[in-house]
Amino acid sequence: MISEGSSFIKGMLLGGLFCAVVTLLGNFSTGHQSTTDHHHHHIQVPSKEELLKLPEPKRIELSQSIRVYCAILVQPRELSYWAAVKETWSKHCDKAEFYSPENVKVFHSVNLDTKDKWLMLRNALKHAYANGKGYSWYFVALPSTFAIIENLKFFLLNKDPGQPFYIGHTVKSGELEYAELEGGLVLSVEALRRLVGVFSDSVKCPEQGSVLWKLTEEKELAVCLKYTGVFAENAEDSEGKEIFNTKSVNTLIKEALAEKPQEVVNGCCSDVAITFHGQSPNHMQVLMYGVYRLRPYGHTFHDSLVFLPPVDSDND
Amino acid sequence: MAALSSRCCFSLGFLVGTCTLYFFLTQVWFERKFSLQLDSQVPSMAGQWGGENQSWRVEGSALISLRYPHLQGKDSRVADQLYKKVRILCWVMTGPDNLETKARHVKATWSRHCNIVIFMSSREDPDFPTVGLGTKEGRDQLYWKTIRAFQYVEQHHSHQADWFLKADDDTFVVVDNLRWILSNYTPDEPIYFGKRFKPYTKQGYMSGGAGYVLSREALRRFVEGFRTKACTHTTSVEDLALGQCLEKMGVLAGDSRDSIHRETFHPFVPEHHLTMKFAKSFWYWNYCYYPIVEGPQCCSDLAVSFHYVDAELMHMLEYYTYHLRAYGYQYRYQPSLPEGVEPDSARTEHSPLGTERDAPGNGSSKL
């Protein structure tokens, strides 16, 4: 009787211990998992301290020397978005080139003569590299993306374009980390040089894409770049917020309203966001107003770079 | 046999122990998580006004800001000075059914930049808080609510502010820009500003939805008008009726446009003003006192208000106004400082593209 009782108690104690250990391990492993999920490469905007160390003439020189070539991949049926991009943010690129799959009468574009998205991307980048002498950075976007080029330049300020950079809103798919095209992606001239080099390798980077199964063009890009030793990196501001966004401001605010109702604006988006995706053409005009014009009187930012408004433009 | 039964007891004990501890752990953690959630979702509403850097106090139903809400990374010396020089009391027209859906978002966004904000409803709500005006609800009550609200403000707060803004719970206001407009006038002048409409009056009247702001003297005269019965409740069309009363009491309808004559108070959302072509038959063409400009020049960079703004757009506009910007960008429109305001630190002002440098309302305020 006593031995049974003591067995029971021993069992209970062991059972309790077992449960505790399992739960702890469970939490630990999920905790660990969440950090490995988040194990992207993160690059941040330059810090205030870094910028203050730069002397004034150097800052002015940098403001002028960072030159961005924008490659925008359009589809003829997206004419209203194309028009919106032409009238809005693309005016702030040092050069904006539109790449289309066929000849379009309405707007000037580079005709890539193919409907295949991966081939379009390849040829657009080849063309950009060949024609973009003197540009240190290449920004690839869709017409449904809205970009703030000044913030892109600010982000790139302390990065050496002679190094391979491939940056955007990154996502991991199995072992492959890639930048989503919708959020815009940026390549340094060195990364583009390597990419154009591997284009001629039909084993590593074939024109028809991956042999086993068809990947999206953004993934194919990541695969090819990986072969040249260039890996996707995620960008964030000094508070760790995403600056390349694959969602619209509307969606991000809606999500913040649902998830963090006490700190919607602070919790939502970066002050120096570079891209948003999915804004209507009309809302792109609102964004031009919101970014480049609307502000509260009496506040000054002592920024370390100076960017002038583009000529012949009245919505910024 | 004995070994078997003790093994059974052991297994039973093991099971019991596991289950007991499991339930215990989940209860404890559940409670902890639940109370955390509770904390983060239902804090006192009044306690959240202003955010981290704001200090304020509650006086009855009024939320009174004690110092300018500073935002990170900005040099706000000029805004600070205007905050002290041009004190604005904002009262927001709302109702019991709109507190959660509309007024709450006003409270979380632009109203934090007022010196004082009061939410006016037909019924008192001590938690939000709102003043109870003792009227009914509905469009036909708008002028009654307005009259009672201004009377309340004049009675309780006329010495605490210089200017008195009325806004709806779907109006978005950039209070700093309102201070800039008003900095060229004094609260002792009988004058009021808003989106100026022309019909039915000699000098025009201000659109209700776009918000309008009265000087302290204008407020005094409005309340006086009702006391002496020079003004009465003539119609429920609140903005027109108010305009007619003010005209009677010798209050001037001011020009709220910026120094290059762009509108600052807007009766629609930014998207409409910036991108839409209004149909020629639309009433708006016949109502606007000043010529309508379509496209980007419809709206001043230093806009004061927009109307028909829903909850989502309210937060978006707060983000666009106070947060999102283009780093290093030199604005095209760089108006000069109002008189009596010290510039911010060392940086010399430069106008790279020959931008306007006049003070607001220059020349057109004297009618």
Residue A186 domain flag: yes
Residue A140 domain flag: yes
User: Does residue B114 or residue B32 have the better pLDDT?
Assistant: B114
Range in A224-233, B119-128, B334-343 with the lowest mean pLDDT: B334-343
CA distance A83 to A69: 18
pLDDT in tens, A240-266: 999 999 999 999 999 999 998 888 998
pLDDT in tens, A120-151: 999 999 999 999 889 999 999 999 999 999 99
Cβ atoms of A66 and A160 within 8 Å: the answer is no
* pTM reported for the whole predicted model: 0.84
A301 with B78: Cβ contact below 8 A = no
Taking only Cα atoms into account, the Rg of chain B, rounded to an integer number of angstroms, comes to 27
Q: Residue B101's closest chain A neighbor by CA?
A: A257
Range in A12-26, A219-233, B271-285 with the lowest mean pLDDT: A12-26
B271 with A261: Cβ contact below 8 A = no
B315 with A265: Cβ contact below 8 A = yes
Cβ atoms of B348 and B85 within 8 Å: the answer is no
B21 with A292: Cβ contact below 8 A = no
Let me know how long chain A is: 316
Cα B157 to chain centroid, rounded: 18
B14 with A11: Cβ contact below 8 A = yes
Contacts of B77 in chain A (CB under 8 A): 298, 300
Q: Would you give the DSSP letter of residue B1?
A: -
Residue A28 domain flag: no
Cβ atoms of A135 and A69 within 8 Å: the answer is yes
> Residue A102: its pLDDT value, please?
93
Examine the pLDDT at A191 and tell me if it is beyond 60. yes
> Residue B140: its pLDDT value, please?
87
Residue A304 domain flag: no
pLDDT in tens, B254-275: 999 999 999 999 999 999 999 9
Residue A61 domain flag: yes
Tokens standing for residue A108: 């000037």
B270 with A288: Cβ contact below 8 A = no
Q: Which amino acid is at B148?
A: R
> Residue A181: its pLDDT value, please?
97
Residue A310 domain flag: no
Residue A7 domain flag: no
> Residue A7: its pLDDT value, please?
83
The set of residues, in sequence order, having a beta carbon less than 8 Å from that of A315 and lying 6+ positions away, is: A87, A88, A285, A288, A289, A292, B274, B295, B296
Q: Which amino acid is at A152?
A: L
B320 with A3: Cβ contact below 8 A = no
Examine the pLDDT at A110 and tell me if it is beyond 50. yes
Q: Which of B307, B352, B363, B354 is nearest to B173 (CA)?
A: B307
Examine the pLDDT at B348 and tell me if it is beyond 70. no
User: Does residue A240 or residue B70 have the better pLDDT?
Assistant: A240
> Residue B316: its pLDDT value, please?
98
Q: How many domains does chain A have?
A: 1
Place of tokens 């919106």: A84
> Residue B237: its pLDDT value, please?
93
CA distance B245 to B240: 9
Between positions 134 and 163 of A, the ones with CB within 8 A of B are: 148, 150-151, 153-154
- pLDDT, average across residues B327-353: 75
* Residue A73: how many other CB atoms lie within 10 Å: 22
Examine the pLDDT at B42 and tell me if it is beyond 70. no
- Give, for B92, the enclosing helix (H) or strand (E): strand B88-93
Examine the pLDDT at B40 and tell me if it is beyond 70. no
> Residue B31: its pLDDT value, please?
55
> Residue B48: its pLDDT value, please?
43
The set of residues, in sequence order, having a beta carbon less than 8 Å from that of A215 and lying 6+ positions away, is: A209, A223
Query: What is the interface pTM, i.e. ipTM, of the complex?
Result: 0.86
Q: Is A295 on the interface with B (CB under 8 A)?
A: yes
CA distance B193 to B253: 6
- pLDDT, average across residues A3-7: 79
User: Does residue A287 or residue B28 have the better pLDDT?
Assistant: A287
Task: Give me chain A's average pLDDT, please.
Answer: 90
pLDDT in tens, B155-188: 999 999 999 999 999 999 999 999 999 999 999 9
Which of A296-310, B62-76, B334-348 has maximum average pLDDT?
A: A296-310
Q: Domain of A175: which CATH number?
A: 3.90.550
Residue A139 domain flag: yes
b/e sequence A244-256, b meaning 16+ C-beta within 10 Å? bbbbbbbbbbbeb
Containing domain of residue A162, as a range? 40-293
Q: Helix/strand/coil (H, E, C) string of B126-193? A: CCCCEEECCCCCCHHHHHHHHHHHHHHHHHHHCCCCCEEEEEECCCEECHHHHHHHHCCCCCCCCEEE
Q: Would you give the DSSP letter of residue B77?
A: H
Examine the pLDDT at B43 and tell me if it is beyond 60. no
Which of A51-60, B166-175, B226-235 has maximum average pLDDT?
A: B166-175
Percentage of chain A lying above the pLDDT 90 cut: 70
Task: Please name the member of B5, B322, B329 whose beta carbon is closest to the beta carbon of A296.
Answer: B322
Q: Helix/strand/coil (H, E, C) string of chain A? A: CHHHHHHHHHHHHHHHHHHHHHHHHHHHHHHHHHHHHCCCCEEECCCHHHHHHCCHHHHHHHHHHCCEEEEEECCHHHHHHHHHHHHCHHHHCCEEEEEECCCCCCCCCEECCCCCHHHHHHHHHHHHHHHCCCCCEEEEECCCEEECHHHHHHHHCCCCCCCCCEEECEEEECCEEEECHHHCEEEEHHHHHHHHHHHCCCCCCCCCCCCCCCCCHHHHHHHHHHHCCCCEEEEECCCCCECECCCCHHHHHHHHHHHCCCCHHHHHCCCCCCEEECCCHHHHHHHHHHHHCCCCCCCECCCCCCECCCCCCCCC
Place of tokens 């100076």: A306
Q: Is A64 on the interface with B (CB under 8 A)?
A: no
CA distance A308 to A299: 19
Q: Is A291 on the interface with B (CB under 8 A)?
A: yes
Cβ atoms of A187 and A138 within 8 Å: the answer is yes
> Residue B347: its pLDDT value, please?
47
Examine the pLDDT at B60 and tell me if it is beyond 70. yes
CA distance B324 to A272: 6
Examine the pLDDT at A101 and tell me if it is beyond 80. yes
